[in-house]
Amino acid sequence: MTVSPPSAETAGSPAGTAVPSAGTAVPSAGTAEPSDRIDVVDLYLKHIGSGRAVMGRVMGGMAEVRSEGAWIHADDGRRFLDFGGYGVFILGHRHPAVVEAVHRQIDTHPLASRVFLEPVAALAAQALAAHTPPGLDHVHFVNSGAEATEAALKLARAHGRTSLITTRGGFHGKTLGALSVTANATYQTPFQPLLPDVTQVAYDDPAGLEQALAVRRDRACVIIEPVQGEGGVRIPRPGYLSQVRALCRAYGALLVVDEIQTGMGRLGTWWGVDAEGVSPDVLLAGKGLSGGVVPVAAMAATAEAYAPFSRDPYLHTSTFGASPIACAAALATVRAMEDENTVARAAALGLRVLTAVRAVCAPYEGGLVCEVRGRGLLIGIEFAEDQAVGELLLELISRGVLVNHSLNSTRVLRLTPPAVVEDSELDLFLTTLAEALHSAAGRMAG
């Protein structure tokens, strides 16, 4: 795979269609001249990892070099409609307002001395806190979702809540602490021993949670997703989150709600907990907070929960955490979501996508497809066989559409389109999905 970014004339090319690029190439390190073509697969093989290199080849051998809105452009001139992005791109790629804010920040003060106070961090915290559930006014910015989980687990420990309760199928990141509560043996086993005293309970099972809490009175921390994303878009029964809240109160447990995937409008509400009016002690945000531009995540907490971090600003720090550039992206993202009514758009578009995807999948239900489910713009297609997920992924890629598998569920294909998708893009997605299903079903039957 040799990289050359698409030229201006390829920008409007149809999905997955190869358009000859002008042949400009990615600049090599140390040169300003875009003259050297690079073999990305070879560099991955040599320097990043053979597994990722092989996967790149399986996915078609393209390298992605540019993005905008719902589209990703590859080095060979093709472009791909991005209905995946692991839930990051609620505002699409490179939302113009976020790009502009980040440019401005780069031109003025991208990274801080950490000696003085930083206005953009303060404003971003204020902007986010305006939308967090009541009482969650304190915000700690970090660089990734897993780091937000780490912050929450440390905060729980600072309160003596050392006994961690997570849910089967739950995903909270892959750093060592976060991995301890990510219920996936494939990722955990090579790194054992992880944090001690972690219990997994069934998701959507308040009775099981109560049993676990009853023997851990005043020393538990419960971490839970409002809808399990990586767990395969598992939506709990109405009332579950309220019951979890009540149980945590009754047994003196700290409640951490991980909204890294479900938050920032993804479910058609600012946060998944909004559907039940639940206010956790700690809420985690990430992914969409980036505005599709700069990696940033956050932990929001009540004053009481946050107290240890509030008292001692050096208790939990990171050099790049809450950097002005990341906070500028977060601030611009929240403002863009307010200005563009993103949450309401996600709710309305989500309903349309879910209904339409159900209609496209209907002929396969009871056979290849088991169920189509979703809330807002987090939609899962559950297949009868593991193999179908890979088949569909590749069928869709070959036709110019990107979606995701689910890390903790082998049979669920995940759709997380941006809220900025236009009618023509949705139509294109649905036509392509129908073709891909037809082709995959035919191949799997044969």
Ligand X SMILES: Cc1ncc(COP(=O)(O)O)c(C=O)c1O
Residues near ligand X (CB under 6 A) are: 86, 144-146, 149, 171-173, 225, 229-230, 258, 260-261, 286
CB of 180 to ligand X, least distance (A): 13
For ligand X, the closer of residues 5 and 173 by Cβ is: 173
Hey, what amino acid is at 68? Answer: E
- Least distance from C-beta 299 to ligand X, angstroms? 11
Closest residue to ligand X, judged by C-beta, is 145
Shortest Å, Cβ 195 to ligand X: 16
**What angle is formed at CA 307 by the lines to CA 303 and CA 313, rounded to 5 degrees?**
120
Is 117 buried (19+), middle (13-18) or exposed (0-12) by CB count in 10 A? exposed
Indicate the residue among 173 and 268 with the shorter CB distance to ligand X.
173
Q: Closest distance between ligand X and the C-beta of residue 353, in Å?
A: 19
Nearer to ligand X among residue 230 and residue 276 (C-beta): 230
Backbone torsions φ then ψ of 165, nearest 5 degrees: -120, 120
**Least Å distance between CB 434 and ligand X?**
28
Nearer to ligand X, 21 or 132 (CB): 132
CA nearest 87: which of 255, 352, 267, 270? 267
Of residues 227 and 369, the one with the C-beta less far from ligand X: 227
Locus of tokens 């944090």: 195
Task: Provide, rounded to whole angstroms, the least separation between the CB of residue 230 and ligand X.
Answer: 5
Amino acid identity, residue 324? P
Decide if 254 contacts 221 (C-beta within 8 A). Answer: yes
Which of 245, 287 has the CB closer to ligand X? 287
